[in-house]
Amino acid sequence: MFKIIARLPRRWNSQSASKVPPVRRISLLSTLFVSASLATAGYFIGKREITKNPPEDLFPWSSTTNLEKIGSPIYATDEELKVAVEDIKNAVGEDHVKESVVEITAHSDNGFTPHPPKPHEKPRYVVYAFSTEEVSSIMKIAHKYNVPVVPYSGGSSLEGHTFSTRCGIVLDTSRMNKVLRINHDDLDATVQAGVGWMDLNEHLTNEKLMFGCDCGPSGLIGGMVNTNASGVNASRYGAMVHNVVSLTVVLADGTIIKTRQRPRKTSSGYNLTGLFIGSEGTLGIVTEATVRLHVKPSHETVAVGQFPSVTAASKTVAELFRKGIRPEAIELLDEDMMHCTNYSGQLTKKWLEVPTIFFKVGGHNKVVVDETLQIIKKVSLENKCADFIIAKNKNEGEELFQARKNAFFSILDYGKNEIDENVRLWVTDIAVPLSKLPKVVDEIRALIDRSGFKSVILGHVGDGNLHADLFYTPDQLHECHKVINEITMIGLRNEGTASGEHGIGNGKRTFLAYELGQEAVDTMRKLKLALDPKRILNPDKIFKIDPQDRGEF
Ligand SMILES: Cc1cc2nc3c(=O)[nH]c(=O)nc-3n(C[C@H](O)[C@H](O)[C@H](O)COP(=O)(O)OP(=O)(O)OC[C@H]3O[C@@H](n4cnc5c(N)ncnc54)[C@H](O)[C@@H]3O)c2cc1C
Ligand SMILES: *[C@@H]1O[C@H](CO)[C@@H](O)[C@H](O)[C@H]1NC(C)=O
Ligand SMILES: *[C@@H]1O[C@H](CO)[C@@H](O)[C@H](O)[C@H]1NC(C)=O
Ligand SMILES: *[C@@H]1O[C@H](CO)[C@@H](O)[C@H](O)[C@H]1NC(C)=O
Ligand SMILES: *[C@@H]1O[C@H](CO)[C@@H](O)[C@H](O)[C@H]1NC(C)=O
């Protein structure tokens, strides 16, 4: 037997309303009484009567929603889930619904997060959608039966974003992978959510166009929209937020909306496009996106500067920006990272193992590119750069950049061979204002040196975004976590963010309140409840939605 949490109706008097206890547990006897009197508002889920779902107190007379003021969400029981899945099979076809061990395992954990899901935290079903209408049918059913839904694209997110913390389904949009339209004159493209950033670029090569964002190699547009992804090209072309014109989104109850037409500028109404960007699948399912395209620079070169210190390297970047120079990419690799890269044997040239910046410089002709390179070289040398090398040809440039894109795997390779077979990497993702970067790097270095952990630091320095990553073995998890938290706090103390590009998932929730303040988090929760009152979309991510949730990572 279970207790039902019911709420007493509020009086239309704000003074007394504030005195009404927010949650009152009542006995079964009075439950019958209350539910009888609220019969018109109530309905049944299976055999349980829910007087109101969502209960009235999810929408109190306040602009924000504090976690302590709401009850726990009520989700489908195993039986209800089975009924819902039968409905889904009828709606989209039996072969779109998978429950094999292989599918479930593949959608449970990608192994990147230091806090793996608990054994019961796995999806019960994986549902593949092939169109916006199918997503809508699936969400209507999920909404009706209170089924938790975890949206899923490439599965490369790093903070437990796609963990099934509740018993429900994973809705996989990766097979919606058509490029629908390319508007050459407008420099935009409309694609389905399952198109990969690499595939889109492949598609655009002959047109001399490109998409400005990148992330992990397997990232797809739907996931990238939802983490506000940005990679090596962000200092020039921006993050996802700067590259999305309009989205087609299916809301929690199956409603389909389009956030905009395709104008470059607009002042009509709320910016719903922006609302969904970085929302980590908690507000709606993205099914299509119109994204900006960029003209590929006709000339492009890579240059590498090797510096005596990270401070010298970041001072160089700050000075370049002040001179109005905006390279396409500015990637910093510290001495440890250079050691891993060298170790991996991916580079034919052997580099000094010192802090190094890879610059990518583009322009519409060679003269412009060369001029820019000379300025970068001059500023670098003024900052005691020991070795400034300009790639001799396209291949050499590509090799250099490939090494950066493969950094993650070189690091793991090095760690497994040289530290411990079971070594793992804990990735941080702070971003700070550029002017604070040298100080922040110094503080982090000192902290890591004191801790005794081995590490690598690499970063999209153009954006002040740093990945200080620590190697740890499973028995050091707790110790490592402390250092990781401290690194993040250094970022926050320096007017920075806990996550420059990876997102919060369920791994970094605690930092959100430190960064933005409890009221801002409560405002997000209010928006969440407005759009998804049953709390079925990607539960427990970004911030808590259940006062019973004790999970801290
Ligand atoms: C080696 C490696 C390198 C990386 N480098 C970078 C980098 O340079 N920059 C960077 O930003 N990130 C990087 N990442 C992280 C990752 O690639 C990005 O977070 C990426 O945006 C995730 O995309 P995905 O398609 O894999 O999304 P998923 O992991 O499938 O999902 C990400 C989030 O979006 C939600 N979601 C997925 N699809 C939808 C949909 N259709 N509608 C609504 N919500 C949805 C999910 O629920 C989840 O919350 C890297 C990861 C790896 C493994
Ligand atoms: C970044 O931009 C350049 C053009 O400046 C392009 O050649 C490259 O493919 C883009 N993406 C990545 C991941 O480097
Ligand atoms: C997305 O990232 C960019 C830069 O990385 C940032 O300026 C922007 O505020 C972010 N937007 C959202 C919605 O998170
Ligand atoms: C709305 O958000 C989108 C995506 O983040 C952004 O590209 C656009 O410039 C924003 N528009 C306005 C009017 O703020
Ligand atoms: C680079 O790595 C090789 C081994 O892979 C090593 O012999 C060499 O000394 C390293 N270079 C530097 C500068 O340390």
In this prediction, residues 163-176 reach a mean pLDDT of: 98
Residues 510, 552: contact at Cβ < 8 Å?
yes
pLDDT tens string 319-334: 999 999 999 999 999 9
Residue type, 444: I
Q: Which of 113, 153, 429 to mutate to test the pocket of ligand 1 (most atoms within 8 A of CB)?
A: 153
Closest-CA residue, ligand 1 atom 21, reads 224
Q: How far is the CA of 265 from the centre of ligand 3 (A)?
A: 18
Alpha carbon distance 504, 17 (integer Å): 35
Closest-CA residue, ligand 5 atom 13, reads 352
Alpha carbon distance 358, 215 (integer Å): 17
CB of 418 sitting under 6 A from ligand 5 = no
In this model, does residue 1 exceed pLDDT 60? no
Q: What angle do CA 183, 184, 190 make, to 5 degrees?
A: 30
Pairing state between β 149-152 and 169-172? parallel
Q: Provide the pLDDT for residue 408.
A: 84
pTM assigned to the model: 0.89
Alpha carbon distance 248, 179 (integer Å): 14
Per-residue tokens: 330: 């500015």
Atom of ligand 3 nearest to the CA of 277: 13
On the 0-12 / 13-18 / 19+ scale of CB atoms within 10 A, 413 is: middle
- Among candidates 75, 66, 64, 83, which has minimal Cα distance to 23? 66
Alpha carbon distance 465, 434 (integer Å): 9
Q: How far is the CA of 336 from the centre of ligand 5 (A)?
A: 12
147 HSE (CA, 13 A, CB side): 32
Q: Provide the pLDDT for residue 25.
A: 39
CB of 230 sitting under 6 A from ligand 3 = yes
Average pLDDT taken over every residue of the chain: 88
Q: Which of 152, 164, 465 to mutate to test the pocket of ligand 1 (most atoms within 8 A of CB)?
A: 152
Confidence band of 346 (pLDDT split at 50, 70, 90): confident
CB of 241 sitting under 6 A from ligand 4 = yes
**Cα 165 to chain centroid, rounded:** 17
Residue type, 135: V
Per-residue tokens: 303: 């240059």
pLDDT tens string 460-487: 998 999 999 999 999 999 999 999 999 9
In this prediction, residues 521-538 reach a mean pLDDT of: 97
Measured from the Cβ of residue 249, the count of other Cβ atoms closer than 10 Å reads: 27
Closest-CA residue, ligand 3 atom 4, reads 239
Q: How far is the CA of 340 from the centre of ligand 5 (A)?
A: 10
In this model, does residue 37 exceed pLDDT 90? no
Closest ligand to Cα 387 = 5
pLDDT tens string 13-35: 333 333 333 333 334 334 433 33
CB of 266 sitting under 6 A from ligand 4 = yes
What percent of the chain is modeled with pLDDT above 70? Answer: 89
Per-residue tokens: 534: 């049953």
In this model, does residue 192 exceed pLDDT 60? yes
Measured from the Cβ of residue 141, the count of other Cβ atoms closer than 10 Å reads: 24
Count Cβ neighbours within 10 Å for each residue of 49-84 and write b for 16 or more, e otherwise.
Answer: bbbebbbebbebeeebbbeebbbebbbbbeebbebb
- Per DSSP, what are the bridge partners of residue 357? 305, 332
CB of 342 sitting under 6 A from ligand 5 = yes
Q: Is the dihedral of CA 203, 205, 207, 209 positive or negative?
A: positive
Q: What angle do CA 302, 308, 314 make, to 5 degrees?
A: 60
Q: Is 332 helix (H, G, I), strand (E, B) or coil?
A: strand
pLDDT tens string 411-470: 989 999 999 999 999 999 999 999 899 899 999 999 999 999 999 999 999 899 999 999
Q: Which of 126, 157, 504 to mutate to test the pocket of ligand 1 (most atoms within 8 A of CB)?
A: 157
Q: What angle do CA 375, 404, 296 make, to 5 degrees?
A: 60
Per-residue tokens: 456: 């690598």
CB of 274 sitting under 6 A from ligand 4 = yes
Q: Provide the pLDDT for residue 260.
A: 95
Following DSSP, what letter does each residue of 163-227 receive, concatenated?
---SSSEEEE-TT---EEEEETTTTEEEEETT-BHHHHHHHHGGGTEE-S---STT-BHHHHHHH
- Among candidates 365, 353, 359, which has minimal Cα distance to 330? 359
Asked which of 36-45, 131-140, 317-326, 355-364 is least confident by mean pLDDT, the reply is 36-45
Alpha carbon distance 408, 403 (integer Å): 10
Q: Provide the pLDDT for residue 48.
A: 54
DSSP code of 122? S
Measured from the Cβ of residue 282, the count of other Cβ atoms closer than 10 Å reads: 25
Residues 170, 152: contact at Cβ < 8 Å?
yes
Q: Which of 225, 226, 241 to mutate to test the pocket of ligand 4 (most atoms within 8 A of CB)?
A: 241
Q: Tell which wins on pLDDT, 12 or 37.
A: 37
Question: Residues with Cβ < 8 Å from 29, sequence gap 6 or more?
Answer: none
pLDDT tens string 128-141: 999 999 999 999 99
Pairing state between β 294-295 and 285-292? unpaired
Q: Provide the pLDDT for residue 327.
A: 92
Atom of ligand 3 nearest to the CA of 274: 13
Q: How far is the CA of 439 from the centre of ligand 1 (A)?
A: 30
Count Cβ neighbours within 10 Å for each residue of 187-206 and write b for 16 or more, e otherwise.
Answer: ebbbbbbbbbbebbbebbee
62-67, Cβ contacts within 8 angstroms, sequence gap of 24 or more: 63/523, 63/526, 64/519, 64/522, 64/523, 64/525, 64/526, 65/522, 65/525, 65/526, 65/529, 66/518, 66/522, 66/525, 67/522, 67/525, 67/543, 67/544, 67/545, 67/546, 67/547
